Every structure is written in C-alpha cells, then in structure tokens.
C-alpha cells in the first residue's frame, strides 16, 4: 500500500494493476479502450490464449469487477487476474485520460471487427468536432418564441459570469415543437451573440455499430465542450437516442447511450460554463428519465398571422426581385406554415419559378403554385385498397 501525490490510498496488485481505493467520482473514467498485449514472458509449455468475446455486456461486467479502482492512463497496461493470470491489455484510449475505472466506465476490447472503426474515430478525434461551426443567425431573425428568448437572456448572463451562479446555474434545457419553427436557429443565434463555441450534433449519428460507440461520443462531446468553455452543446432530434422505453423495441436498445447522457446531464463531473440544449419534435416520446433532467422546456409553436406577416417582410426585403403581393395577404394564405416553410417552400420556390421564366418580379401566379405545391407535400398519402 502507498499514498500517491493526491493523498489517495493505492494498492498495487501482484500483476502490476494500481488500484485506488479512495477516489472522487469526478475522476471516474468514462470510456477505456483496450487491446491484447499478451504475456510478459514466454514459457515453451504454455500456449498464449486467444481472446474472443462472446457476450459484450458480460465482458464489461467482468472487466469492471476485476479492474474497479484501477488507474486508467493511455499507454499503460491492465493485467487479467482471473481467467488468464498476468495476461496483459494495453489501454490505447482513455476518456478522460488519467482517471479511475469505476461503476460507470465503458470498457471496449479492440478486435478485427471494430478496430478500423475505433481507429478512425481516434484519427478524427472524433466526428463531433466537425459539428463546431458558426452561422450568421441573430436573435432578430427569430420571430416570436418569447419564452425561449427569455431563457436565452439568462443563459447569456450565466456564460458571461459562470462562477457567480453556483448551484443556481442553468444546465439542461429542452426546445420542442414542429420542424422549421426556429429551434436550431435560436441556439445558433445565442452562440453568435456571445461569441462562444457551439457543439451541434444530431442524435441519430450517435447510434454506432458496436457497444460503446455512442456512449464514447457522448462523453467526448461533453469533454470537448468543457475544454472550450464557455460553450453550448446542442443535441438535435434527441428522441432518436432517448426514446421512451415502450418504443425502444422499434429501433433496438440504446440504453448505454442514454446512461452516458444521463451521467453527463447530472453533472457527475462539473460542467462549469457549459449549457446543454436539446431539441425534439416529439417530447411525449422521450424517455422519462431523460426528460426529467431538463430544468425548463420551451415550446416552439407555428407562427400566428401577425408573426407570418413579420417573417414575410423580413425575407421579402432580401429577395433579388420584388413580390407582387403584400406580406399581409401572403400571411393569410399560409396558415399552418412554419418560418422555414415560408422561406424555402413559398418564397424560394416562387422566386426560382419567376427567374426560370425570365420575370422581373414574383407574380401571384408563382406564389399560388408554390403554396399549393407545399400544401400537397404536407398531406398524408391516401390509403390504398386492393
């Protein structure tokens, strides 16, 4: 037994595994990727075992049980103490590095099937970083959505002075409502106004081919955000991974991703200066355990007539040719349209029709065609009978 530099009690096992028996939960490893290193010696009468996992979930329980409390440092080794004594495994990736294996640690053994995929993730350090971007959206671009704008003002104050909020800091917020109502645009506008890093990820990309892929990406996402703090994490289409358990049979088990997300949202490690915002079109389908973690929910509703008028005015001012109808009249014709519908399906479509016919303005004829066409698209297909 010895005391390390952090005043933690350590036990060194005979095979070399360092076990820390008193450690803070903040130091718990989230994902540890290991590969076979073999035996430290060779005896002529001994055959080196070939490791093949038949049950991934069972292997994780086995690995956590014998390595609980072990220091996890990239490049170091862990030794099996049970089935193949002294057989070594090299830790090729640890998130976060220099942490401790605990109850919630995901342990992945590299094999021929998943090695290329995990190596690709390491080279890219990972695809979540591709989601970091800036747009030109501003709060003035968003019409309505008063409740969400009010919450954003609180977030602004927090990200400017994170340490002053203490336990009263905003953490997890849910935006929900129909597509095209400004959920993503508002998060982009908030990031732009504060000039902070935005980490945007679509939840569908978190569902990997192997156990641990999704949880690894979740942990990396939050780890990268903490390093970039102040920062905003935006998880779009969160229902893709946090679906209510009664629906999960429709698309397979993603419990390990949900558990990783819950641990990050609960803040087992301090997320100072990091805000998590998630969005969904179907809040009623969310897993109750995930939904309960959101301190606030804000509905993004379809614009009313006055708001549609304002949206038409805003976009019509930027068109290269004029529109022969007033914003007020167009607002009356587009009940049930979202802001995105107005921009993409009505104005852009009618503009392109006018330009393709060499017109100098967008006539009511093209507007009507665009509106009728978008209404047909939104109708469900007719039932077919044989």
Distance CA 334, CA 6 (A): 65
| 172 pLDDT tier (thresholds 50, 70, 90) | very high
Domain boundary among 111, 136, 157: 111
Nearest Cα neighbor of 143 from 313, 303, 343 is 303
Q: What is the pLDDT of residue 125?
A: 40
Q: Is the predicted pLDDT of residue 185 greater than 80, yes or no?
A: yes
pLDDT digits (tens, 9 = 90+) for 1-42: 344 444 444 444 444 455 554 555 557 888 888 888 887 776
- Range(s) of the domain holding residue 347: 305-377
Query: Which of 104-108, 122-126, 150-154 shows the highest mean pLDDT?
Result: 150-154
Q: What is the pLDDT of residue 347?
A: 96
Lowest mean pLDDT segment, chosen from 49-58, 135-144, 292-301, 344-353: 49-58
The answer to the question of residue 382 being in a domain is: no
CB 176 within 8 A of CB 279: yes
Q: What is the pLDDT of residue 42?
A: 63
The answer to the question of residue 102 being in a domain is: yes
CB 301 within 8 A of CB 197: no
The answer to the question of residue 257 being in a domain is: yes
Q: What is the pLDDT of residue 105?
A: 85
Q: Of 12 and 158, which is predicted with more confidence? A: 158
Indicate whether 63 and 152 sit together in one domain. Answer: no
**Averaged confidence pLDDT in the chain:** 79
The answer to the question of residue 226 being in a domain is: yes
The answer to the question of residue 118 being in a domain is: no
Q: What is the pLDDT of residue 210?
A: 53
The answer to the question of residue 219 being in a domain is: yes
CATH of the domain at 51: 3.10.330.10
Indicate whether 254 and 343 sit together in one domain. Answer: no
The pTM for the full model equals: 0.63
Indicate whether 51 and 148 sit together in one domain. Answer: no
CATH of the domain at 171: 3.40.50.300
pLDDT digits (tens, 9 = 90+) for 314-337: 999 999 999 999 999 999 999 999
Q: Of 269 and 77, which is predicted with more confidence? A: 77
Tell me the C-alpha to C-alpha distance, in Å, between residue 91 and each of 210, 211, 224: 18, 17, 20
Q: What is the pLDDT of residue 106?
A: 83
pLDDT digits (tens, 9 = 90+) for 195-240: 888 888 888 877 755 555 677 888 888 888 888 888 899 999 998 8
Lowest mean pLDDT segment, chosen from 261-270, 310-319, 329-338: 261-270
The answer to the question of residue 73 being in a domain is: yes
Domain boundary among 275, 299, 323: 299
Tell me the C-alpha to C-alpha distance, in Å, between residue 107 and each of 34, 118, 213, 221, 314: 7, 13, 11, 18, 52
Q: What is the pLDDT of residue 249?
A: 52
Burial (0-12, 13-18, 19+ Cβ within 10 Å), 104: middle
Q: What is the pLDDT of residue 339?
A: 94
Indicate whether 104 and 178 sit together in one domain. Answer: no
Q: Of 78 and 56, which is predicted with more confidence? A: 78
Q: What is the pLDDT of residue 244?
A: 75
Total domain count, the chain: 3
Distance CA 272, CA 226 (A): 7
Indicate whether 154 and 294 sit together in one domain. Answer: yes
Indicate whether 137 and 186 sit together in one domain. Answer: yes
Q: What is the pLDDT of residue 326?
A: 95
Q: Is the predicted pLDDT of residue 349 greater than 90, yes or no?
A: yes
Domain boundary among 255, 277, 299: 299
CATH of the domain at 326: 1.10.8.60
Listed in order, strand segments (DSSP E) in the chain are 2-3, 9-12, 18-20, 31-38, 71-72, 77-79, 88-95, 99-100, 106-109, 172-176, 197-202, 231-236, 274-280, 296-299
The answer to the question of residue 117 being in a domain is: no
Indicate whether 293 and 313 sit together in one domain. Answer: no
């Amino acid at each position: 037994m010895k005391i390390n530099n952090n005043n933690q009690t350590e036990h060194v096992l005979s095979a070399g595994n360092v076990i820390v028996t008193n450690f803070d939960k903040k130091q718990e490893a989230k994902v540890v990727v290991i590969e076979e290193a073999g035996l430290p010696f060779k005896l002529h009468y001994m055959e080196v075992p070939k490791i093949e996992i038949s049950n991934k979930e069972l292997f994780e329980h086995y690995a956590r049980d014998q390595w609980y409390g072990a220091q996890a440092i990239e490049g170091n080794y862990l030794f099996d103490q049970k089935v193949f004594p002294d057989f070594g495994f090299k830790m090729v990736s640890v998130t976060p590095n220099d942490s401790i294996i605990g109850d919630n640690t995901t342990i992945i053994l590299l094999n021929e099937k998943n090695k290329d995929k995990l190596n690709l993730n390491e080279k890219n350090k990972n695809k979540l970083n591709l989601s970091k971007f800036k747009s030109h959206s501003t709060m003035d671009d968003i019409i309505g959505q008063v409740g969400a704008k009010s919450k954003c003002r609180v977030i602004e104050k927090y990200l400017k002075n994170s340490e002053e909020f203490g336990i009263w800091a905003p953490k997890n917020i849910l935006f929900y409502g129909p597509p095209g109502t400004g959920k993503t645009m508002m998060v982009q506008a908030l990031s732009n106004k504060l000039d902070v890093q935005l980490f945007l990820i679509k939840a569908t990309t978190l569902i990997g081919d192997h156990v641990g892929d999704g949880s690894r990406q979740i942990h990396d996402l939050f780890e990268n955000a903490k390093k970039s703090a102040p920062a905003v994490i935006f998880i779009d289409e969160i229902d893709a991974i946090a679906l209510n358990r009664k629906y999960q049979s429709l698309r397979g088990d993603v419990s390990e991703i949900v558990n990783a997300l819950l641990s990050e949202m609960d803040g087992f490690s301090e997320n100072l200066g990091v805000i998590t915002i998630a969005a969904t079109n179907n809040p009623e389908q969310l897993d109750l355990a995930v939904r309960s973690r959101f301190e606030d929910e804000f509905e993004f509703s379809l614009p009313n007539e006055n708001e549609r008028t304002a949206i038409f005015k805003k976009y019509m001012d930027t068109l290269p040719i004029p529109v022969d109808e007033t914003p007020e009249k167009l607002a009356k014709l587009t009940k049930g349209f979202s802001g995105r519908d107005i921009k993409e399906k009505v104005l852009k479509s009618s503009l392109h029709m006018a330009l393709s016919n060499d017109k100098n303005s967008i006539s009511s004829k093209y507007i009507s065609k665009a509106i009728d066409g978008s209404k047909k698209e939104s109708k469900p297909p007719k039932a077919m009978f044989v």
